[in-house]
Amino acid sequence: MPDLARPLALVAGAFALLLGLPAQAQSAAEPPSSEAIVDAFEAVLGPIRTHRPSHAKGTCAAGHFVATPDGTRLSVAPVFNGQRVPAVIRFGVGVGNPAGPDTGRTTRSLSIRFETEAGDIWDMANISAPIFGSPTPQVMVQGLLARRPDPATGRPNAEAVAAFIAANPSTTNQARWLAATLPPASWATTPYWGVNAFRFRGTDGEVRHIRWVFEPRAGTQRLTEEQMRSLPSEFLADELRRRVAAAPVEFDMVLQFAGPGDDLTNPTVTWPDDRPRAVVGRLTVTEVAPGPGGACDPISFLTLDQAPGIEYSDDPTLHARTGAYAVSLSRRLQ
């Protein structure tokens, strides 16, 4: 399969497969309901009752987060109070099957639940690509419908996929990035982007539009082409366990501030590299679960804001996430 076609075919398992609905459920102009979103996951992947539809493969970890003085200044949210805030962490692989390979050209994920001593909770889900796979829920709907497998062949209709891409070229941005970028050599050595814009309210009362990235203190390291062919399909979890047993793994949380003309609602485009940045905190990973399961398993990372310090932007793909996560969790708990 050509380099670009493969990540496009895998986009359903690479976090971009977050939105969608059956064709008859709603018109293209209406946003999908939470139930319809999860129905669409199952239309592509089949019934899902034992694992997450997106980034199904993962490992639980734990650690803490401490805001920098800049973080405390830029957000009045409790997580940025400057104290040590415990964190439940999940590292994932962008596959729709928990047995998928660790070596594929898909995204990796870093999901975090922060909980202060006072019980304030903030969740986030980040991926190892700076862009998302769809500009709007409606476009992702169309992409999912184009990729539904034909019952007779078990494969999507190639002409329908090609027509969708031709009509929606921005949906190839993430796939092109993945095709051109070697996969991470470790969960600890890749940046993780939030991809969506949020509003941060600072102690000065000013509201700033930002995106964030978690940058690995160990630096970025990627697999070679040879390692992609030779490494086992399961290596990331054991590598992380060995690494954390030797020393904690750390990431700096870095904000990027929107500038004039930057798109605040389209996560398929990046902002220019010259935009101002600030290091607002450090995430430290101190423990990794010894095997499958752990504290992260029942968490769907739903609490995406801590208003007024951290609030949603107007990005429609961001607003669609919480309800779909909740429905997916409820079906797994049935």
pLDDT at 127: 97
Give Cβ neighbours of residue 164 (< 8 Å, ≥ 6 apart).
142, 143, 146, 171
What rounded mean pLDDT belongs to the chain?
86
Poorest-pLDDT segment among 35-49, 56-70, 282-296: 35-49
HEC readout, the chain: CCCCHHHHHCHHHCCCCCCCCCCCCCCCCCCCCHHHHHHHHHHHHCCCCCCCCCCCEEEEEEEEEEECHHHHHHCCCHHHCCCCEEEEEEEEECCCCCCCCCCCCCCEEEEEEEECCCCCEEEEEEECCCCCCCCCHHHHHHHHHHHCCCCCCCCCCHHHHHHHHHHCHHHHHHHHHHHHCCCECCCCCCCEECCCCEEEECCCCCEEEEEEEEEECCCCCECCHHHHHHCCCCCHHHHHHHHHHHCCEEEEEEEEECCCCCCCCCCCCCCCCCCCEEEEEEEEEEEECCCCCCCCCCCCCCCCCECCCEEECCCHHHHCHHHHHHHHHHHHCC
Please tell me the pTM assigned to this model.
0.85
Are 67 and 79 within 8 A, CB to CB?
A: yes
pLDDT at 69 over 80: yes
Asked if 209 is an active-site residue, the reply is: no
CATH label of the domain that carries residue 122: 2.40.180.10
Which is more confident, 33 or 256? 256
pLDDT at 7 over 50: no
Task: pLDDT band for 189, please (50, 70, 90 cuts).
Answer: very high
Task: pLDDT band for 277, please (50, 70, 90 cuts).
Answer: very high
Mean pLDDT of 176-185: 97
- Residue of 55, 64, 209, 319 with catalytic role: 55
pLDDT at 52: 59
Our count of domains for the chain comes to: 1
Residue 122: give the domain boundaries: 5-332
Q: Tens digit of pLDDT for each residue in 260-276?
A: 999 999 999 999 999 99
Poorest-pLDDT segment among 8-22, 132-146, 225-239, 263-277: 8-22
